[in-house]
Amino acid sequence: MFFGLWKRKKERPRSADPLAAFDELLENLERQAAEMRKSAATLLALKGDLSRSLERCSRKLSDIDSRRATALSRGDAKASSVLEKDRVQADAQLTSTREALSRAESDSQLLLEAAGELGERVEELRRERESASARLTLGGIITDTLKERVARFEQALVVDAARDEVERAHALAEVYRDELREKTD
């Protein structure tokens, strides 16, 4: 029933490769920027619809005003009253449409700016990744070179140790020779 309620989510294993971490971050940022651009495009399309709706509301309001003026000139109070109510509704719709258009404009602009900033950040990270890749490659070359130097140094130490051993052997042989001479003399 409640088994797993207190279990923690397993985290995705992180790669030991620092370039893979860059690639993952770049992929996430690119995905976010794409979503922002998609949302901004949706708002821009909505902005076009709202602009057309605003024009329709304005025409409707003008039409209502003209019909109301005609009704007033004929002395038709009932029609004038109904048209006044229609005018209030049309005016409210016009105000609401203007507010929605204003909000869509500001939100789309905000999303486009954020997507642009993310795009700049992605480019900056790409340059940083290329630099890191070059440094890692150079570091690997330097490490290999140092390993070769260490191997040559170790060989030199082995040769020096062998020389020392040969000299000790010669010195020991010389000591035995001297002892043999002393015994024979």
pLDDT tens, the chain, 185 aa long? 455 555 565 555 555 677 888 889 889 989 998 898 899 889 889 999 999 999 999 999 999 999 999 988 888 889 989 999 999 999 999 999 999 999 999 998 898 898 889 889 999 989 988 988 888 888 888 888 888 888 888 888 888 888 888 888 888 888 888 888 888 77
Is residue 37 domain-resident?
Answer: yes
Domain count, the chain: 1
CATH of the domain at 170: 1.10.287.1700
The CB-side HSE value for 101 (13 A sphere, CA atoms) comes to: 15
Is residue 11 domain-resident?
Answer: no
User: Which residues form the domain of 35?
Assistant: 19-183
pLDDT tens digit sequence for 32-49: 988 988 998 898 899 999
Is residue 166 domain-resident?
Answer: yes
What is the DSSP annotation of 130-178? HHHHHHHHHHHHHHHHHHHHHHHHHHHHHHHHHHHHHHHHHHHHHHHHH
